[in-house]
Structure 1
Amino acid sequence: MASRDLNTRGYQARSGQGDPEPLNVLNSAATSLLRRVPADVWCAVMLDPATLLDTGGFHEQGFRAESMPRLFEIEHGEQTGVDNIRALARRRAASSLLSVSTGGDLARNVYYRDILAPEGLADELRVTLKADGCTWGLLVLCRARESAPFTAKDLAVAEAASAPAAAQLRRALLLKGIDDVEVPDAPGLVTARPDGRITYVSRIADYWLAQVAERRRDTGITTYTLTAVLSHARDRTSADPVSARVRLHSGRWLTISAWTEALGGEGGEEMVIASLTPSLPVALNALVLNGYGLTPRERQIAQFVILGRAYAEIGDLLGIREQTVNDHMRKVFAKTGVDNRIELCTNLFTRHHLPVLADPPLSTDGRLMGS
């Protein structure tokens, strides 16, 4: 079986040169797995751990463009299928083989019928990149009907690859990034019809979408990341918007929010509307703390500390002793590489809160501008 060639030029992670970029980490994880578990079709995707929506990745060796609208509808709109990403995120195991999950009855699975079968594929192996209960990415490997089937050994190899790859990806996403150019802060606007066809992309939205860390074929689809969010919003019964936080090539974060709305009021033509805005610092603090590998309790206490609460006050709020709070914070300091609460707050302030000062040479999201 001959796997499609993996184009790694310019994306190999480089050891000893600081924290790698997220796409480098994702590419390295996929490359390593594909050496041991070859595939005819594959993709590697970054995910927003809060919403499990696509936030960039490698799609060049993935499914044909004609399959993608239906794939996003199944994955993020209908959210059906035994190995849907949301079902996988809830499981203890990180790897899953569709033929096993369906009990060998692939024909009854909508994802197999509508996506794999038309592509001439016989089975799909999925690997969720999980770290501390959060899912940060997904590796998808498929084999054609004429290829050798996946084995139990392949599944075990994929399972072992999940945790280290997830930890590296989380760190690369959250703990690195210096801007070297000035960028606008204005929101962008995108509108689409219920069938998914995009009808309008504002100039600023086009700028933001060009910054998404995503590699794919030239398919005519604006981005797979945006398509995933639009698909999720289109099939929701709630009018509340859905959102995904997306890391850009520059190291900044973008929030894509989408909702459905009847133009002209009730009875008007229904459209799906998306806004693209720089993520607010307060929305990133929890993510950044997660990037250091803090436990849920350590993150909770650290966020109270960031808000200026005293240890005794935090203890009263959580119903624990002040000494317990102090013990948790010692672990927080060790994991974040600081010595005290002042340094912890300064670290987050420097990364995400300096933009309110609007004083060059700082970028608009608080990272130091490159010289």
Structure 2
Amino acid sequence: MNPSETTARLERGLRGEAGALAVLDHTARVLLDAVPADVWCGVVLDPSTLLDTGGQHRSGFPESSMRRLFEIEHVEQDDVDNLRALTRRPGRTSLLSRSTHGRLGDSKYYREILHPLGLSDELRLLLRDGRRTWGLLVLCRDAHTRPFSAADLAVAEAAGVPACAALRRSLLLSGVDAGPLPDAPGWVVLGSDLTVRSMSPTAQHWIDRLQERHAPGRGAEGPYLLRALAVQASGEGTGAGAHVRAPAGDGRWISLRAWPVDQGGETTTVVSVGPTDPAELTALVLDVYGLSPRARQIAQYVLLGLSTSEIAGRLGVSGYTVQDHLKQIFDKVGVRSRRELVAELFLRHYLPRLAHPPLSTDGRLLSEEGPPA
């Protein structure tokens, strides 16, 4: 299958609305038909922190590798194809054997993760739109499979365009949730071995909505997201902690913050888990729509009710410039007027939060019958 055939097949399969996991699943199926792999996974990323926020791990790395993988990826960040290094390079694909110029042993990621598992090379595909990276597909081959080729990289590069567009679109899916909603974050405590020691009912409510899948027997110790966050928090300065926002399967967003805590000589990690604050959500949603920094700024002023002349005065530009930006905003969001823009953002992303007043407390989720006993 050549790059154009792969792109066409992906575009057909990714039309319409689909959740993030469905996008990763379909992209992987199409890509693996053209570029087979012995081990693979797909990950949804927070574009601000590049931490995992969910993903498809049914054919991914074993549990025993994950802690060290998170340390190399999110704490040490110094390997040749580290995710953060890749986002600073042009293009969407990388091949570890190429990045090391054939000296795979120079890579600690290869020495400590791939080689012990019998894997000989790794291809990474960033699902990026230029400035932001929303996801990652990882394909690995062992020594008994033919090496990745330039043609494989070309197919993967082409697949990244429709896959990224569909993944970003999936992060905008939302509907008005008429079910019970918790009012505040819950908490999770992880031990030094990254196992979940305790979890509040509200935290469980939000954790259950994370988009992450594992093969049977994997992921038993809790979502990779929690563990990646705990590993990053342990590598930050004292008290700094780590923060990530993850898309839930119903279109809402979940904020997680982690802090390492010394308890009697053991370092545990406390994680707060709850709905994303509207102040965070505004910038995040506008970013998902792919707006430029100036367009996001103008959209936020529109949400605040400012007129064209008022926006122009604040930004020191002409009214015509503001109108040009507004046309671009309308095109990207899929609306035709200021009123439709406000309705789109409010109804899809804020009303689900406001439909139920914050009356419950942790462990007491309101329902039509009232709080549970």
Q: TM-score, normalised by structure 1?
A: 0.86
- Structure 2: gaps spanning 5 or more residues: 1-11, 359-373
Identical residues among aligned pairs (%): 48
Partner of 2:85: 87
Instruction: Provide the C-alpha distance between the structure 2 equivalents of 1:311 and 1:255, rounded to a whole number of angstroms.
Output: 33
Partner of 2:248: 248
Task: Give 1:97 deviation, angstroms.
Answer: 0.1
1:236 aligns with 2:236: yes
1:146 aligns with 2:165: no
Partner of 1:76: 74
Instruction: Provide the C-alpha distance between the structure 2 equivalents of 1:123 and 1:161, rounded to a whole number of angstroms.
Output: 20
Partner of 1:199: 197
Amino acid at match of 1:74: I
Higher relative contact order (CA 8 A, sep 6+): 2
1:281 aligns with 2:294: no
Matches within 5 A, 1:315-326: 315-326=312-323
1:320 is paired with a residue of what secondary structure?
coil
Instruction: Provide the C-alpha distance between the structure 1 equivalents of 2:168 and 2:99, rounded to a whole number of angstroms.
Output: 28
Instruction: Provide the C-alpha distance between the structure 1 equivalents of 2:177 and 2:69, rounded to a whole number of angstroms.
Output: 34
Matches within 5 A, 1:303-342: 303-342=300-339
Aligned residues: 344
C-alpha contact (below 8 Å) 2:14/2:166 kept by paired residues: no
Instruction: Provide the C-alpha distance between the structure 2 equivalents of 1:72 and 1:95, rounded to a whole number of angstroms.
Output: 20
Instruction: Provide the C-alpha distance between the structure 2 equivalents of 1:14 and 1:112, rounded to a whole number of angstroms.
Output: 34
Amino acid at match of 1:215: R
CA separation of 1:357 and 1:41: change in aligned 2, threshold 3 A: closer
Amino acid at match of 1:341: R
Task: Give 1:357 deviation, angstroms.
Answer: 5.6
Partner of 2:102: 104
Instruction: Identify which of 55, 59, 62 aligns with 1:61.
Output: 59
1:297 aligns with 2:294: yes
C-alpha contact (below 8 Å) 2:176/2:348 kept by paired residues: no
CA separation of 1:41 and 1:178: change in aligned 2, threshold 3 A: farther
Instruction: Provide the C-alpha distance between the structure 1 equivalents of 2:13 and 2:162, rounded to a whole number of angstroms.
Output: 16
C-alpha contact (below 8 Å) 2:195/2:221 kept by paired residues: no
Partner of 1:343: 340
Q: Where has structure 1 moved over 4 Å in runs of 4 or more?
A: 13-16
CA separation of 1:238 and 1:309: change in aligned 2, threshold 3 A: farther
Partner of 1:225: 225
Task: Give 1:116 deviation, angstroms.
Answer: 0.2
Instruction: Provide the C-alpha distance between the structure 2 equivalents of 1:328 and 1:248, rounded to a whole number of angstroms.
Output: 30
CA separation of 1:315 and 1:194: change in aligned 2, threshold 3 A: farther
Task: Give 1:251 deviation, angstroms.
Answer: 2.5
C-alpha contact (below 8 Å) 1:129/1:162 kept by paired residues: yes
Matches within 5 A, 1:350-361: 350-354=347-351, 355-356=353-354, 358=356
Task: Give 1:240 deviation, angstroms.
Answer: 2.5
C-alpha contact (below 8 Å) 1:132/1:293 kept by paired residues: no
* Stretch of structure 1 that moved more, 28-37 or 229-238: 229-238
Partner of 2:116: 118
Question: Which digits, 9 at most, give the CA deviation of each residue in 1:175-211, with x for residues without a partner?
Answer: 4445363232342211224453433222322332222
Partner of 1:215: 213
Question: Which digits, 9 at most, give the CA deviation of each residue in 1:238-265, with x for residues without a partner?
Answer: 522321111122322211111223458x
Instruction: Provide the C-alpha distance between the structure 1 equivalents of 2:45 and 2:246, rounded to a whole number of angstroms.
Output: 8
Instruction: Provide the C-alpha distance between the structure 2 equivalents of 1:74 and 1:359, rounded to a whole number of angstroms.
Output: 43
Amino acid at match of 2:158: A
Task: Give 1:223 deviation, angstroms.
Answer: 0.6
CA RMSD of aligned residues (A): 2.2
Q: TM-score, normalised by structure 2?
A: 0.86
Instruction: Provide the C-alpha distance between the structure 1 equivalents of 2:98 and 2:13, rounded to a whole number of angstroms.
Output: 36
1:20 aligns with 2:18: yes
Amino acid at match of 1:344: L
Instruction: Provide the C-alpha distance between the structure 2 equivalents of 1:269 and 1:67, rounded to a whole number of angstroms.
Output: 22
